[in-house]
Structure 1
Amino acid sequence: MAERNADQQHEDQLRGGADSAGIGRYLMHRAKPHLPPWLGVAGTGLAGALGHLRWADSSGAGVGLTLASVALTGATWWAGRGTSAQRRLHSAITVAAGSAWLTGACLAGPTAGPLDDLYLMAGPGLALSWNVRMILRRNPDAAGESAGADKGLLEKVGLAKASIGRTEVGPNRVTAQLGLEAGEQTNDDVTKTLPRIASALDLPPTAVRYMPDPESARRGELVIVPRDMLADTVRWEENGPSLAGGSITEPLTIGVYDDGSPLQLWLPGDKEAGRNATHLLIAGMTGSGKGDGALNLMTEILSRTDVLFWLSDPKGFQDFRPLLPAIDWAVEGGADTEVMVETVKAVIPARTAWLGEHSYRQWEAAAAQRQTDPKHSCRKDGTACGCPGLPFHIVWFEEAGVSLGLLGDDAFNSIANLARSAGMALVVSLQRPSHDQISTTTRDALGARLCFGVPNATAAGFMLPDSVVDAGAAPERWSNRRPGYCYLVTPGVAEERYSSPGRTRWFTDTAVSLMETVAQWAARNGAQVDPVTEKAAASVAGTAYTQRQTNETDENAHLPADEDEDEMTGPLLDPEDEGIDPEQELPDSEPGDDAPLFGQETGRKPSPEEARRLFGDALAEFEDEGRMVVGPKDFTDWCDRNNLSRSWVSLRLKEAALDGRLEPTNQTGRWRIVPALAAA
């Protein structure tokens, strides 16, 4: 519309004002853009005449004017380095000629010798050269050739009726506005042609992306990255953590995008930035670089000063062992992870209650500090409460497919849906987040995705939204041939970035020493567990949490025992036989002590009082070992030692639950031991 209005105005100017006044206005209007060079020539002549009146026959002025002429010409050449070579040379010649004539005119006079002739001939010549350059600046033929080239490309890929609008060219990124034929083409048509566009431009398929306009079905941005800047691997130890000593609210930098910009994500929310808190799902096939990606993120997290970190790793901390001193609680898989999940369930409401009492609608950096602001006081009188802060809390489940196989598909559902409101984030890492590995409910609750190479498009669909795949994201094209290549979908990152590939940094053997340094620094300077989280965790995990040893290791814990020494120093009497008087008569037989009849269950039947004592001892034994989630199968060895049956144990479990010593879990037949002090 604006273009038609301009053409109409131009046509009106050509047709209107046929009298002499109208013709004069039209000529002046057309001449105005070409006047600056002529004004420059006139100004130079006037300056020469005035300069001669002041500096005639002055040797000092001659030196000064000569130096000024040389300096001005050099400055013009330097300033034109960002323009074309022709424009730079043209500008330098014009300034050099004008300043040389001005110097001669000021010293000898504008009419001395050939100066007046040079002025009359060279001045108009230079002005006209700039007029010609201005006229040729608009080249409809060249524009037509460019448009024809674009049309040729679009025609080749089946988008002949599409038009290319405004185009932005960056250092390694070309973004073009694309408009499709109304009623005949949609954004889906562009998505289908992306591989053909990459073929026409001789680029990798992942170098061409399309971001549809959410408010239009036929408009969007075509993004082309000519050069893959991810080909050169970057070692993590070259730079280390991006912001050691900073806050977890600052971006976590884990690599770079293919155009060289940083690959970043956030876990806490930010109401001012309009960013929601999120959990993170990490997935990728074996050899895709998922382990190095996890180390990038973990070292970023542990280098911040207001975050608490828990880790579950069924692989025995194979990749993360150098970082253990910085981790508040680290457990291996199986029953220990089961205890951690139950603990997180109890920690969530405790932390949520604290945030509510201190007037935080969501966790923010101020919540991690001592509460000296009356606006965040839990006191009813409105004065500052001075309560200890509540650090952000991250719970990381490595190789979660193994844990979910033991705990069940719904193990993470409740904590995934509620943890964000408690200032907590879950990081779940596994190879393939298919429905047989993780429930759809849990997967949907993990809002952010870090997807490394996968074996096929089906696996990519489990990780990436359909809109991102349609825009050109295809991690299956890398598989495990390009370790570290990934896609990041997360709040806080522009949606057009979702389909841009990135690459995480590479951890080598030489990175171990720096990782250990980061861990030791974090152990001294990082956040300590807050009273609210510690109390809630101890109420569920008991000694499994209160006696955790993640910040120090026992050097002799894994050394084999000296068998000869045990034989020489160990007691000669079985501990179970201590206190038995060898002269005392043997006790009478009890029911079940003899061989069972057909259909009768093995094992004796203790009295109710003895049953409560025996079972209480068993629960205390499990609690001392840190095994806080139990079921009938966990009592197998204990039943053998005490000559009791598993069916007897099942009855005792139900009785203990009624007494408050056990709490049911989400899994059928599994019970959580309530620590003895908490039960009392």
Structure 2
Amino acid sequence: MKNQQMKRHARRMRRNGLQPMVVIDSNGPVPDLAAVIIARGLWRYRSEIGPIALALVLVAASLTLHLSHPGWWIGILGTAIVSASALGLVGDRIGLSLRIERLYAATVALSAGGWLAAATALGVAYRPLPQIILVGTPILSVPWWVHRRRRARVRVERTLAAWPEISQSVGLAGSRVMSAVVDVWGWRARFGLARGQTIQDAIGKIPALESALGTFRGAVRVYPTRDDRANRFELRVLNIDPHANAIAWPGPSVTTITEPIDLGPFEDAAPARVLLLRRHALIGGIAGSGKSGGINVLMGNLSACGDVVIWAIDLKRGMELQPWAECIDRLATTPEEARRLLRDAVVVLEARAATLAETGKRVWEPTRDNPALVIIIDEYAELAEEAADATSYSDSIARRGRAVAVQLIAATQRPTQKAMGKGAVRSQMDVRLGFRVRERKDVDLILGQGMLNAGWHAQTLNAPGKFLVSAPEHDTPRRARAYLLTDETVRATAEKHTGSRPPLDEVSRRAIDEATILSDPEPRDAPPQGKGTATTPRADATGPQDGPEVVLWQMLSQAPDEGTPIVHLMNGTGMGRSWIYYRLQDLSKTGRATQTTRGRWRATS
């Protein structure tokens, strides 16, 4: 009765802001208080004393088993061997991601099981079993005590134990911890929100959470939970920044455009995979934010796809995309070339649509014989400014190109309506890659209206190559970093895949040829015939001589012994890779041209 009165008095004093005095009754509260203090200390440091507790449990178990079931030692030893083998082989399934962790767990399991089996059969006092457990326990405890992830787990547990005070200080009073996991980069926990609180409230408290948790700036992330419950959120805290340094490109992640492309790792090391088939993509960010690196990752993967033809527009005279020219079927570097390229892309679109209508199909399925057409436009704002009439073609592609696998990938710094040509291009972009921006309002320009308020803070990205990806399969703001391709990697990748690039399909090629003849029916003047001048081959004996064919034959005739590269033939004729290869194959069949080495041709005489 007296104790209850003292507790009520203490509660009243706390409500009034006073610290109650602790009065110890000599008749008995001292042992109770000591027991509570000891129990709290054992619980607080339970991780540190874990190895000692395990040793005590082994001793107690061996005493019991030796007196009651000494013959069980065979089963105990067998169980220890099986458990150690399982931990060593499949321990990653229970969180032992590192090989050294699995080896340590297997060693402890085998040592503990072996000692318990021996003590069960011979008795705990049988020499040298007491000496073994006294010496072996501290030795095997050292890796456990110094293990970084264990110590991190202890810190997280103590932090979460103080969550009621933390939540009160940051303005999320009433929220509660549901679960927590420690991983390689830090830790993450699920929280239940109090009635009336939403994830938007948690997102708005991120700076306060960083201060309360004592992390570095930018270390806290808030995501929806997987079940997408409105009264829950996931808190992720980084101890180290996994994107602090550039990440080397491991090589192509796909061989077909029907598979998602790995652009780079998220902060939890999961790959940022994006499906591009039948989707248009927009890449935005200020100068130096890493847009070119993102384009290089896309080019490296698309060049390895055997069912994709790549066209590209680079109005900086090819400065960015020229290293990939060997894998690009058609590269436009001037406004007029860009206009013709986009016009031909619309021709391809319409021809494929007509073919699908005739065959009763709804979508163009990419194969090597019928590849998808991907058009990459670097600095789209330059196109809208220098070739404004060409943007009407890109607008048509954006609206009608999905079903026929004619797709746009546009990169620009600020995709304003003016920069995007005042059409529907931006609104048709299903995939958005937002690199660093300088102004907060640019987040909505790149990623979509309302994304800034939803937590997509691209203005906080602090290194080149870091980006946020918004796509149908990525609807939460997770940071990723694009892989880095060095100039040597770009050169080696382009050379590796140049010989395996697919040609444009027959339907599209025929449509482009017909459109070219209709737009320019008069053949260009051929050079005068005479001594030392090679005659120009014809596609057939009665057809007119085409201007690009004249230029092609001249370049082959004047080629050195090692031959002329395909890229030079493309630049000289103004035609695409498929057109060049088809003409070279015709000339090779008639014995007029020969391939000297891979990617180099010359006339036979």
In 1, the alpha carbon distance for the partners of 2:206 and 2:484 equals 30
Distance 1:289 1:267, change over 3 A: same
One of 267, 277, 280 as aligned partner of 2:276? 267
What is the rounded CA distance, in whole Å, between the counterparts of 1:625 and 1:302 in structure 2?
A: 21
The answer to which of 443-452 and 258-267 deviates more is 258-267
In the alignment, what sits opposite 2:143? none
- Aligned partners of 1:166 and 1:344: how far apart in 2? 53
Alpha-carbon contact 2:395-2:423 (below 8 Å) kept = no
User: What is the CA-CA distance between 1:524 and the residue it aligns to?
Assistant: 1.6
Q: Which has the larger radius of gyration?
A: 1
Partner of residue 516, structure 1: 491
For residue 252 of structure 2, what is the aligned residue in structure 1? 241
For 2:166 and 2:403, locate their aligned partners in 1 and report how far apart those are by CA, in whole Å.
Answer: 50
1:178 partner SS = strand
Question: Corresponding residue for 1:609?
Answer: none
Aligned with 1:223: secondary structure? strand
- Equivalent residues of 1:257, 1:501 under 8 A apart: yes
Q: 2:415 aligns with which of 433, 436, 439?
A: 433
Equivalent residue, structure 2, for 1:525 = 500
SS at match of 1:447: strand
1:339 Cα shift? 1.7
Distance in 2 separating the partners of 1:191 and 1:419:
38
- 8 Å contact kept, 2:177–2:190: yes
Match of 2:378 among 398, 403, 406: 398
Cα distance in 2 for partners of 1:416, 1:149 equals 53
The equivalent residue for 1:598 is none
Question: What's the CA shift for 1:37?
Answer: 11
Q: Percent identity?
A: 23
Does 2:430 align with 1:447?
yes
Aligned ranges 1:497-646 → 2 under 5 Å? 499-509=477-487, 511=488, 514-542=489-517, 552-554=566-568
Query: Which residue in 2 is equivalent to 1:345?
Result: 346
Q: Name which of 473, 486, 496 aligns with 2:456.
A: 473
- Partner in structure 2 of residue 167 of structure 1: 180
Could you tell me which amino acid in structure 2 is paired with residue 321 of structure 1?
Q
Which of the pair has the greater relative contact order for Cα pairs under 8 Å at 6+ separation?
1
Amino acid at match of 1:230: H
Deviation of 1:335 after TM superposition, in Å, equals 1.9
Secondary structure of the residue that 1:242 maps to in structure 2? coil
For 1:160 and 1:437, the matched residues in 2 are separated by 46
Distance 1:314 1:466 in 2: 29
**Is the partner of 1:469 in helix, strand or coil?**
coil
Shift of 1:94: 6.2
Equivalent residues of 1:451, 1:475 under 8 A apart: yes
Question: Which residue in 2 is equivalent to 1:195?
Answer: 207
Displacement, 1:76? 9.9
> Which residue identity lines up with residue 191 of structure 2 in the other structure?
L
Hey, what's the Cα distance between the residues in 2 that align with 1:302 and 1:87?
45
Deviation for aligned residue 1:297 = 1.0
Partner of residue 675, structure 1: none
Q: Which residue of 2 aligns with 1:483?
A: 464
1:41 positional shift: 6.2
Q: CA distance change for structure 1 residues 69 and 424 in 2, over 3 Å: closer, same or farther?
A: closer
Q: Distance in 2 between matches of 1:259 and 1:360?
A: 41
Q: How has the CA–CA distance of structure 1 residues 220 and 103 changed in structure 2, closer, same or farther, with 3 Å as cutoff?
A: closer
Q: Residues 165 and 454 (structure 1 numbering): CA distance in 2 closer, same or farther, change over 3 Å?
A: same
TM-superposed deviation, 1:421: 0.9
What is the distance in 2 between the residues matched to 1:182 and 1:154?
Answer: 14
* Conservation of the 8 A alpha-carbon contact between 2:431 and 2:469: yes
C-alpha deviation, 1:199, in angstroms: 2.9
> What is the identity, as a one-letter code, of the residue corresponding to 2:209?
I
Contact kept? 1:73, 1:96, Cα under 8 Å? no
Q: Equivalences for 1:53-64 in 2 at 5 Å? A: none
1:99 counterpart residue number? 117
| Matched residue SS, 2:162 | helix
Contact kept? 1:175, 1:224, Cα under 8 Å = yes
User: Of residues 381, 389, 403 in structure 2, which corresponds to 1:421?
Assistant: 403
CA distance in 1, matches of 2:418, 2:114: 77
Residue pair 2:63, 2:120 contacting (<8 A) in 1 also:
no
How far did residue 288 of structure 1 move? 1.3
Query: What amino acid does structure 2 have at the position aligned with 1:253?
Result: D
For the Cα contact (< 8 Å) 2:58–2:112, is it kept in 1? no
For the 8 Å contact 1:44–1:102, the answer to whether it is kept is yes
Pairwise CA RMSD: 4.5
Looking at structure 1, the residues matched to 198 and 116 of structure 2 have their Cα atoms a distance apart, in angstroms, of: 58
The question of whether the paired residues in 1 share the 8 Å contact of 2:444 and 2:451 is answered with no
Name the CA distance, whole Å, in 2 between partners of 1:89 and 1:517. Answer: 45
Query: What's the secondary structure of 2:247's corresponding residue?
Result: coil
Measured after TM superposition, the shift of residue 280 of structure 1 is 0.6
How far apart are 1:38 and its partner, in Å? 8.9
**Does residue 183 of structure 2 align to residue 182 of structure 1?**
no
**How many Å apart are 1:218 and its aligned residue?**
3.2
Conservation of the 8 A alpha-carbon contact between 2:314 and 2:378: yes
Q: CA deviation at 1:516?
A: 3.3
Structure 2 unaligned regions, length at least 5: 1-56, 134-154, 521-545, 553-563, 576-605
1:29 corresponds to: none
Q: Is the 8 A contact 1:279 1:448 kept in 2?
A: yes
User: Retained in 1: the 8 A contact 2:66–2:121?
Assistant: no
Structure 1 264/37 Cα, relative in aligned 2: closer, same or farther at 3 Å? same
- With normalisation by structure 2, the TM-score equals 0.62
2:85 and 2:64 map into 1 onto residues whose CA distance is 20
Task: In structure 2, give the amino acid aligned to 1:284.
Answer: G
Q: Tell me the alpha carbon deviations over residues 454-498 of structure 1, each in whole angstroms, 9 at most, x when there is no partner.
A: 1111112211245653453322224xx6211111112334x23xx
Alignment check: 8 A CA contact 1:69 1:99 kept = no
Q: C-alpha distance in 1, partners of 2:70/2:178?
A: 49
The corresponding residue for 2:263 is 254
Counterpart residue type for residue 468 of structure 2 = Y
Q: Contact (CA 8 Å) 1:77, 1:89: kept in 2 or not? A: no
Give the C-alpha shift of residue 394 in structure 1. 0.3
1:307–1:527 Cα contact (<8 Å) kept: yes
CA distance 1:218–1:43, change in 2 (3 Å): closer
Aligned to 2:239: 226
* 8 Å contact from structure 1 (residues 523, 551) kept in 2: no
Shift of 1:345: 1.7
What SS is found at the alignment partner of 1:368? coil
Distance in 1 separating the partners of 2:364 and 2:160: 52
CA contact (8 A) 2:282 2:409 kept: yes
Cα distance change on mapping 1:209 and 1:557 into 2, 3 Å: closer
- Taking a change above 3 Å as real, the CA distance of residues 37 and 188 of structure 1, as seen in their structure-2 partners, is same
Q: Provide the residue aligned with 2:5 in structure 1.
A: none
Go from structure 1 to structure 2 and tell me whether the alpha carbon gap of 1:435 and 1:249 turns closer, same or farther (over 3 Å shift): same
Question: What is the rounded CA distance, in whole Å, between the counterparts of 1:357 and 1:196 in structure 2?
Answer: 62
Deviations 1:357-393 (A, max 9, x none): 55543344xx415xxxxxxxxxxxxxxxxxxx31111
Distance 1:486 1:545, change over 3 A: farther
Shift, 1:252, TM fit: 1.7
Preserved contact between residue 76 and residue 91 of structure 1 (Cα < 8 Å): no
